[in-house]
């Protein structure tokens, strides 16, 4: 991603430290956050300093490598195991978290020399991160075929540069189309309660100079019914065996609205987001986050970010972070291997081809 003329990834590793773009400060402030150990890395995932499927996966992979570098020869097996457990508990819905951890873990689990474990873990974490970049670039190349000139595109949450190591999933086809000279316009749902759409997606699109407008979450149906949205593309935090998709809360209702208004609804995700061990969406664990995210909002005033309560003190809040969109509402899934239907047969074939 290009920020003020400088190319960045969302996450990378320098020696024993993990560097992250601090997404909690955007769009008001651009800052690099440093995780000095695996516990700080886990906390950064949990508190959403880094968020988004691919970015979480890469950070988790680097976190495992970081843990191996912290270990000593006397108890490294137990130390690495406990470190992985700490990272696994941070975001239970995001499949890429577990994919990233297992990618590194499977490469070192049979090794007995700590120096070799450390070397391989760092190499594999970097390999996993690099794959995320290339996969998202390919998603853009396949997905741009769905976007015609003068298309108006709906999206939800943030599935762009910031949600992956680079390029993104849902926004990658938009960037590819825009760079190819197509005229596009993006309707950006604000995505309450953490406002990843208005804070992150809008910031990205502004950096890339893609025409767009932020809309209230409840306005999406209004624009769909008016015929002002030609296609909807979202990301995914987990895609299970039958094609059901877990994504940021509010995605399900956008899919239903798109179906009602005969608008194609596509999900973009790399194969690292697929979970064939889970049969259907009812079995996906849904993360429940703090009610403070609903009760308070953050804003920028007089050079600082402030927190303001918007609900009565006496009123509790509920805050599911994700919902599940059934496969029947999904027109197709855009992957780095091509566009497939959201059904068990095509998903199984896709993952088998990747494995082979």
| Distance in angstroms (rounded) separating the CA atoms of residues 269 and 296 | 31
In angstroms, how far is CA 273 from the centroid of its own chain?
Answer: 9
Residue 220 CA to residue 292 CA, distance in Å, equals 25
What are the angstrom distances between the C-alpha of 185 and each of 149, 150, 209, 231? 10, 7, 11, 11
Distance between CA atoms of residues 208 and 259, nearest Å: 30
| Separation CA 17–CA 61 (nearest Å) | 13
CA separation (Å) from 50 to 33, 69, 178?
9, 21, 26
Beta partners for residue 95, in sequence order? none
Residues whose CB falls within 8 Å of the CB of residue 82, separated by 6 or more in sequence, listed in order: none
What are the tokens at 56? 């979480």
Among 132, 237, 244, 323, the one annotated catalytic: 237
- Length of the chain counted residue by residue: 356
CA distance 40 to 19: 11
State which H helix or E strand residue 185 sits in.
strand 184-189
DSSP 150: T
Active site residue 237: yes
Residues identified as active-site: 237
């Amino acid at each position: 991603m290009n920020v003020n003329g400088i190319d960045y990834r969302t996450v990378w590793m320098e020696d024993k430290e993990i560097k992250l773009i601090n997404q909690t400060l955007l769009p008001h402030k651009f800052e690099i956050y440093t995780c000095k150990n695996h516990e700080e890395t886990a906390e950064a995932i949990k508190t959403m300093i880094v968020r988004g499927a691919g970015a979480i996966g890469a950070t988790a992979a680097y976190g495992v490598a970081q843990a191996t570098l912290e270990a000593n020869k006397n108890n490294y097996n137990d130390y690495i195991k406990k470190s992985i457990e700490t990272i696994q508990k941070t975001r239970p819905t995001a499949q890429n978290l577990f994919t990233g951890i297992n990618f590194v873990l499977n490469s070192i689990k049979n090794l007995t020399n700590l120096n070799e474990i450390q070397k391989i873990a760092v190499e594999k974490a970097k390999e996993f991160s690099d794959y995320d970049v290339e996969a998202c670039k390919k998603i853009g190349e396949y997905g741009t075929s769905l976007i015609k000139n003068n298309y108006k595109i709906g999206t939800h949450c943030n599935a762009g540069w910031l949600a992956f190591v680079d390029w993104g999933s849902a926004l990658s086809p938009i960037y590819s189309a825009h760079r190819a000279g197509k005229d596009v316009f993006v309707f950006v749902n604000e995505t309450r309660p953490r406002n990843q759409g208005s804070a992150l997606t809008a910031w990205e699109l502004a950096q890339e100079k893609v025409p767009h407008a932020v809309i209230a979450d409840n306005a999406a149906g209004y624009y769909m019914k008016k015929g002002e949205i030609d296609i909807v593309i979202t990301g995914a935090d987990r895609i299970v065996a039958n094609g059901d998709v877990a994504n940021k809360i509010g995605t399900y209702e956008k899919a239903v609205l798109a179906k009602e208004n005969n608008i194609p609804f596509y999900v973009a995700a790399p194969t690292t987001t697929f979970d064939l061990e889970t049969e259907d969406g009812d079995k996906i664990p849904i993360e429940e986050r703090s009610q403070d995210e609903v009760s308070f909002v953050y804003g920028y005033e007089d050079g600082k970010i402030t927190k303001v309560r918007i609900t009565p003190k006496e009123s509790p809040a509920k805050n599911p972070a994700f919902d599940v969109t059934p496969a029947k509402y999904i027109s197709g899934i855009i992957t780095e291997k091509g566009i497939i239907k959201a059904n068990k047969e095509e998903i199984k074939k896709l993952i088998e081809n990747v494995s082979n």
